[in-house]
Structure 1
Amino acid sequence: SLGNFPIRAVPVIDRQGTANPVIPDDPLGLLQRGNFIRVPLVIGINRDEGAFFYPLLKNGYAENSRRNTGYLRDILIPRFLQSTSDLATNSAVVEAIMFAYFVGVDTANLTEILKPFINMTTDAMYVACHDLTSKTYAQLNIPTYMYVFEHRGVNSMIDLQLNQQMPKVDAGVSHGDELFYLFDLQVDGIQPLSRLDSLISTRMVTLWTDFAKYGDAPHFVNYEYPAKWPRLQPDNLTYYRIERDLRISRDYRQRESDLWLHHLPSLAEIHTLPPTTSPLVEEKVEPVYRTLAWAMVAVAIALFILVIVLLGFLYNQRKSQSFKASPELGHSRMSGSMSGSTLY
C-alpha cells in the first residue's frame, strides 16, 4: 500500500573517482548548460501517468480514511511529497494541493478521490518535469517533438497489476500503456489488440520509424497523418495528440506545471497561513511584516476618522447648549409667549 512510501529510485551522480562517469553532475544542471550530446528528441507523456499507482491506492485507502478523516491531508499527501519531491511539507503546501485538486471531493470515497489523485500524481511526477525538460531542449535550439498519448485500449498496465481482478476500473491512460502499441509485448494477461488499437499501433510505429530515418515525422502527409508533427518552440508549445485520431494541440497543462515548478516551491519557503486564492494563479507572497504594517495603517486611519467625527459631534453639542443659554434669546421667547397668551 501507500504506507510503503517513501520509496525513491534515482540516478547516481558519478563524482567519486570514476574515470568515465555516466552522470558526472546533476542531470538538470547538465541539461541547462547544454553539456550533453545534442540530437533531435521525441519526448512525450501519457495522459494519466499517475494511474499506475491506483493498485497501491486501492489497498487500504478506505480503511485508513475511516480511521482518520484527515488521512489524505495529514498523512497521504505529506508522505507522497516526501517520497517524490524536495518540497517542504508545511501546511501552506498541503493546503494549496488540496485546493488545486480536492475541492468538493468526498475524500473518504475512493471512487471520488481516484481521478483527482491521478491528476495530482501525474502533474507532480511527470507533467512538471516533462514540461521543464522539453522547454529546456527547445530553448537550446535542439529539434524537439512532443506528444501526449491519450488512447485507452483493451490493454492496460493497471489491469495487469490487478491481475484481471473484477470489476475492472478505467483509471485512464496509465504509465507504460503506450508500450502495447510500440512493441509486441509477450506478457501474461495481454489481450489481442482491437481493430482500433491495431490502427493506432501502426500510426505510432510509423511516426517513430519515420523520425528515426528522416529526422521528422510523418514523412508523408495523408489521410492517416493529416499534418506534420510540429516542432516544439519556446514561444509555440505545440504537440501531437495521439488518440483515435492524430491532432495538433498546444500549451499542455501549463498552469499545473507552473503550480509544481514555481508556486509550490515558493510556498515551501514560508510558514504562514495557507493561501486563500487559487494556487494555480502565480502571485507574489507578501512578507508577514508588510501585511501587519498595512493593517496598522488601516487601523490608524480608522481611528483618525473616528476622532474627527467625535470632535464634530462635541462641537455641535457645545454650540447647541450655548444657544439655549443666551439671555436675549430667553427674554425674547418669554415676551413672545406672554403677548400671545389668551389666558389674561
Structure 2
Amino acid sequence: MLRSKGVNIKDITKIYVTPNGKEFKAVDNVSIEIKAGEFVTLLGPSGCGKTTTLRMIAGFEVSNEGEIYIGGDMVNNDTPDKRDTAMVFQSYALFPHLNIFDNISYGLKLKKMSKDDIKLKAKEIIDLVGLAGMESRYPNQLSGGQQQRVALARALVMEPGVLLFDEPLSNLDAKLRVQMRSEIRNIQQKVGITAIYVTHDQSEAMSLSDRIIIMNKGIIEQVGTPKEIYYSPATEFVADFIGEANFIGGEIVEVNGGKAKVSVLDKFINTKYSGKKVAGDVCKIVLRPESIIIGDDGNFEGKVISSTFMGAYQDYRIKIKENIISCQDFNPIVKKVYNIGDRITIDFNEENVHII
C-alpha cells in the first residue's frame, strides 16, 4: 500500500534570534541518514533540537544551512504539502465538526479522489487502526487513545513516503501510552513505512525504535540501536539520559587486545574496551543498577543507606568509600533483603562494565 522513502539530512543548522538580538543555534550542523522503512526516534530533553529537526524535515521550519533529501530528492525549497510526508501531532489536530470517517478522508477529498476510492482507502485504514464501527462518531465522543488512532489513520491514508510523529502520546495517561506505542510500532511494521518519531520519553524510544538518535543542545550525542545506546553509551550524558546509571571514577591500568584493566574503588577489574584511552588515563565506568550483584561475599564492601521495596525489585543505595551506588535486586521475595545500616558487598561481571 505504502511506498516508503529514505531521509538524508546533511549538515543542517537552524538559528533563531533571541529578543535581545543574540543568535541561538537550535540545531547545529546535524547529519542523519534514515533508511526506507526504518523507525528512528529523535530523543532528548526539552530544548535539545529534536522537534526543530522534525519540523525542518516536514517543511514547517526552514534551515539556515544544509540540505534535506527525501527519497533522494532535495526538498529544501518544497512546501510541506510537496514533501511526501505526513505529520501526527501531539494535539491530534482533529476537526471537531467532522465525524471520524470525514476526518480521516479529509485529505483524500482535497486530492479530488472519487467517492468510491475514498471509501475504499478510508475503510482499509480504519480497519488497520482498529476503528471499525466508529466511523460516524465525532472526536468528542472518543477516548484519547481513539483520537490518537484517528490522527494516525488520517496521516496513513495519504500514503506518505515518510510518517512524522511529534510527541504523539504525551497527552495520554501512562498505561494508555504503553498500549498505543505498541500499536504504533505494530502498524508501522505492518505497512513498512519510514517513521521519524520525536519524544523525551526514553521508554517510548526504546520500545519503538530500530535506531535512536540522542540529541543534546542542538547536536547529536549518539546514534545506535536501543541495545547499543543502553549498554554502550558514547558519553556520560547518554548513559545518564537513557535509564539509570552509576558513574564510578577509575584509572586505566592496561589496554590490550580489546580489553582493559581498570583500577576502581582500590581494586582491579577487567572489561571489554575499544576506546582511545591508554594506561595512566583517568576514566569513568558505567554500571546499570540491575547489573550489580549484591550479597555477602562480593569484592566491594559497603553500607546500605537506603532500602526500598518497589514490587518487582528491591531498590538499594549503597555507600562504598565516597561513592553512592544504586542497585536493583529483582524478585526480592526469594532474596535476602538488606536494611539501612547493614554491611553488604557488591560485584559485577565484566560484560556489564562500560568505560566512557
TM-score computed with the length of structure 1 as normaliser: 0.25
**Bigger Rg, which one:** 1
User: Per chain length, whose mean CA-contact separation is higher, i.e. which structure has more relative contact order (CA < 8 Å, sep 6+)?
Assistant: 1
Q: Which has the higher strand share?
A: 2
Instruction: Please give the TM-score of this superposition, normalised by the length of structure 2.
Output: 0.24
